[in-house]
Amino acid sequence: MSAHETSIGPISGQKSSKAGGAQSKCVAHLKGQCSLPGDKSISHRALMLGALAVGRTHITGLLEGEDVHATAAALSAMGVGIRRESPGQWVVDGVGVGALQTPDNILDMGNSGTSTRLLMGLVASQPIRCFFTGDGSLRKRPMNRVIAPLSQMGAVIESRGDGRLPLLITGSDSPMPIDYTLPVASAQVKSAILLAALNTPGTSVVREPKATRDHSERMLKAMGAQITVEESGTGETGRIIRITGEAELSPVDISVPGDISSAAFPLVAAAIRPGSQIRLKGVGINPLRAGILTALEQMGAPVTIENRREEGGEPVADLVMTGPERLKAVTLDPAIAPLMIDEFPVLFVAAACAQGSSRFTGLEELRVKESDRIAAMAAALSACGVAVEEVPDGLIVHGTGSPPLGGATITTHLDHRIAMSALVLGCASDRPVSIDDAAPITTSFPDFMPLMNALGTEITLL
């Protein structure tokens, strides 16, 4: 092993300890260009499908946040060879479909719901046992939406009475194919079923009433899985995915694009400061992920898309934001929610600075993320002088049309997106905005503060 190589050992057990708070101050504008960390969703899937391929997968641009490290450590504990060769450059020596091993220890997934739900799918159709737990935030998140279909495929899953972590999953040695209609739009549930189907005889079918991010389907197809996707015919965005099991996946070189969910933070920060101009290089613009671009355009802050290309089967481009003189309120079509569900907290910040009242609905999923993101952002905005109205499936934000008051310390609830959204709000507030805990940011965007400060923000640790 070279001096740059690092093997992944068992996960340490807990998320990083509290690092203290942080504070953001108002700035005149943002200027400059940068590259973003790798897409978190694609990074998880690259490691997992690389683990199931026969041979060596090379990954470039892997996100090196705590969530992705949790996935790598869990796969390593199941017998997969994974190593980091240099920053962002990783190698996975796959063991093949059906060849994972029972880990010796409990798998602590930290704060990562994606890791947990997708790995449950991997385990469900293999004759192994895994015990999953996580931090306080993850243990509150619902797992029944994954438990239900995986149980139908033959997995035995024991959890707390309300279907939450910790849980023990025993995979089936004779899994059964499934024809399953998703009760909610969830790429995690869809992907868990597809991963379980890889080691299941016959053809499994997933029907989604609304299309969700399709990174799993794209990567599975690139690695040789027999998978088809078609429009359902029952709605504008519904789809039917069919996958044939007992697959053999071939390794491929995977280039992970910049994460559009991470891009949302500098994009909004520039949009709320007139005169800003930033360029974000090499960002994934998968149409099933790019709702934030549509939303910002409707608010009067269109993103210019340049240098379009395709990398690793994913559409990629450079994004340019020029801060407008004024943002306008918007009533966003609920149909866009699955295309940008993770970006809503920071979009609420844009709405807080806009002229007029914005209405966002169809966001029930935000209630069961790392925190109740509707309630958390309502409290954050209210504390900073922005009038809001909470509704069961969303938020009405009465924009100030001018810099919000600020001056509050925001409770992050162990939620990285609440933490970063609050710091973006501080970039345009009359008074500094603080957060109680900056540690959650490392789960998805370890370089958030230096990257944002390089563009002109003033974010400091307390």
Binding residues for 3-phosphoshikimate: 40-41, 45, 186, 188, 342, 369
| Catalytic-role residue among 259, 342, 415, 437 | 342
Tokens 């004779």 found at: 174
342 an active-site residue? yes
Phi, psi of 295 (to 5 degrees): -65, -45
Q: What single-letter amino acid sits at 67?
A: D
Rounded to 5°, the CA angle 89-94-95 comes to: 160
Element (H, E) at 81: strand 81-86
Residue list for the binding site: 40-41, 45, 113, 141, 186, 188, 342, 369, 373, 417
SS (H, E, C) 152-213: HCCCEEEECCCCCCCEEEECCCCCCCCEEECCCCCHHHHHHHHHHHCCCCCEEEEEECCCCC
Classify 217 as helix, strand or coil. helix
For residues 439, 265, 66 and 80, what is the CA-based torsion angle, rounded to 10 degrees?
A: 180
Rounded to 5°, the CA angle 298-35-84 comes to: 130
Which among 445, 35, 28, 29 has a CA at the least distance from the CA of 279?
35
Phi, psi of 62 (to 5 degrees): -60, 135
The interaxial angle of helices 66-77 and 40-52, nearest 10 deg, is 10
Residue list for the binding site for phosphoenolpyruvate: 40, 113, 141, 188, 373, 417
Q: How far apart are CA 284 and CA 319, in angstroms?
A: 10
118-143: burial string, b at 16+ Cβ within 10 Å, e else: bbbbbbbbbebebbbbbbebbebbeb
Contacts (Cβ under 8 Å, ≥6 apart) of 266: 30, 34, 278, 280, 321, 451, 452, 455
> Would you please indicate which residues are annotated as catalytic (active-site) residues?
342
